[in-house]
Amino acid sequence: MNEKLLSRAANIADLKRIAKTRIPAFAFEYLMGGCNDDRALTNNRHQLDQIFLQPRNLNHATVVDTSATLFGRTYDSPIGIAPVGLSGVAWPRASEFQAQAAHKHNIPFVLSSVATTSIETAARHAKENFWFQLYPPRDLEMRSDMLRRARYAGCENLVVTVDVPSLSWRPRDIKNGLAIPPRISLKSVYQTITHPHWAIATAKAGMPEFETLKPYINTSQGLKKTAQNIRHALREIVDESVLRQIRDSWHGNLIVKGILSIDDARSAVDCGADGLIVSNHGGRQLDAAVSPIQVLSDIKDELGERAVIMADSGVESGVDVARYLACGARMVFAGRAFMYGVSALGRYGGAHTIDILNSELRQVLEQLRCPNTSALPDYLT
């Protein structure tokens, strides 16, 4: 662990505070915001705080093991990097830095379809730790080409996100005019020049673009039209028939992200899903959404034998990771925490975020006298 970085940022809250000073407000608000009135975002925190663990101080567990084995592979930690779109707005090359860190620390890295790094570049950095998240395109040729590229890049785990049937209502982004490319206003120019680190890094890396989608989207009709084209191309509602089509054309593991009910969990597994990510998209889609931690144990009890159950939303520490694991997740993803990491610390941010989360998780296991992450459910009150 890097002691110098640790003295600046010892937890995710520190990374968030530093990120806020380093990046323009429109970028920070895009990352941290929920939707509507942020009720789901707040509830994620509230519900995680209701999960308590009971130590067994007299247990004879001297060594703790934080590794996690799923889909036949062992990762060093049960913590993964969640897919984040428009990643280059938070920090240029954010997804590349995260992919490198995931490879170095042997954890999963999930690239978003709408990240600003291409499938090929991310896979080159993450190597065998590369997972790909698909917003299924309407156009079947485009869809199968994206799957072909993912497979060719070595991806074994495809994550299909099903919880974005509608563009969400995010007042901050609406007011900030956040779009790709960002709408230029006096306010955004001011925010940019008052954050020189971000401005210089962005100038060096070039304006972020949807690298994975470039081959399919007509970019010659002006900037605004390009953004509209992308929204149109990816607005496929993912129902059971779409999932079955994807299952038929994807030979690796199929993971469905955005599950919040036993019914959906069962449907996804009936359609051939190998894994589920119980998630409310970090509280960014439906402000009245139930929090994943409220439904995780039930989904695990019902489907845990048939699919690998994973979770995300609201992870702000290794303690939160332990809470999700205790409720039945086998892998826990974090989105914002890793983005704050790279926004705060650039290329060092991905690895430092992993270090923080994993050290905190390890400390929880030691304190509980719990030998490994799969034993955590026994420590739930």
Ligand X SMILES: Cc1cc2nc3c(=O)[nH]c(=O)nc-3n(C[C@H](O)[C@H](O)[C@H](O)COP(=O)(O)O)c2cc1C
- Helix (H/G/I), strand (E/B), else coil: 111: strand
**Minimal distance, residue 316 CB to ligand X, in Å:** 7
For residue 171, the minimal CB distance to ligand X (Å) is 15
End-to-end CA distance of the chain: 32
Active-site positions read: 281
Structure tokens of 129? Answer: 């730790």
Cα distance between residue 300 and residue 327, in whole Å: 8
Q: Which is nearer to ligand X, 105 or 284 (CB)?
A: 284
Of the pair 336, 352, the CB lying nearest ligand X is at 336
- ∠ CA 219-220-225, nearest 5°, is 65
Torsion of CA 364, 367, 370, 375, to 10 degrees: -30
Those residues whose C-beta lies under 8 Å from the C-beta of residue 163, and which sit 6 or more positions away, are 257, 258, 260, 279, 280, 281, 285, 286
Handedness of CA 238, 240, 242, 245 (dihedral sign): positive
Q: Considering beta carbons, is residue 281 or 323 the nearer one to ligand X? A: 281
Instruction: Rank residues 33 and 64 by Cβ distance to ligand X and give the closer one.
Output: 33
Q: How far is CA 266 from CA 41, 58, 248, 257, 262, in A?
A: 26, 40, 18, 13, 6
Smallest distance from ligand X to CB 191, Å: 17
Nearest distance from residue 364's CB to ligand X, in Å? Answer: 18
Shortest reach from residue 369's CB to ligand X, in Å: 28
Interaction of residue 336 with ligand X, rule CB under 6 A: yes
Q: Which is nearer to ligand X, 56 or 232 (CB)?
A: 232
Count of residues in contact with ligand X, rule CB under 6 A: 23
Question: Distance (Å, rounded) from C-alpha 313 to C-alpha 296?
Answer: 12
Residues 243 to 302 in contact with ligand X, rule: CB under 6 A: 257, 279, 281-282, 284
The one-letter amino acid at 303: L
333 vs 379, which CB is nearer to ligand X?
Answer: 333
User: How far apart (Å, rounded) are the C-alpha atoms in residues 200 and 9?
Assistant: 23
- From 108, 314, 328, 346, residue interacting with ligand X (rule: CB under 6 A): 314
The CA-atom distances, in angstroms, between 175 and each of 28, 30, 171, 209 are 13, 11, 6, 21
121 contacts ligand X (rule: CB under 6 A): no
Residue 29 is a binding residue for ligand X (CB under 6 A): no
Footprint on residues 71-110 left by ligand X (CB under 6 A): 82-85
Tallying the residues shown for the chain, one arrives at 381
Among 50-58, 139-147, 312-320, 348-356, the segment contacting ligand X (CB under 6 A): 312-320
Q: Which is nearer to ligand X, 353 or 370 (CB)?
A: 353
One residue of 334, 351, 354, 356 binding ligand X per CB under 6 A: 334
Give the count of beta carbons closer than 10 Å to the beta carbon of residue 183: 15
Rounded to 10 degrees, what is the CA torsion of 192, 100, 251, 233?
10
- Binding mask 141-180 vs ligand X (x if CB under 6 A, - otherwise)? --------------------x-------------------
Chain position whose Cβ is nearest to ligand X: 335
Q: Please report, as ranges, the residues that interact with ligand X according to CB under 6 A.
A: 30-31, 82-85, 112, 114, 133, 161, 257, 279, 281-282, 284, 312-315, 334-337
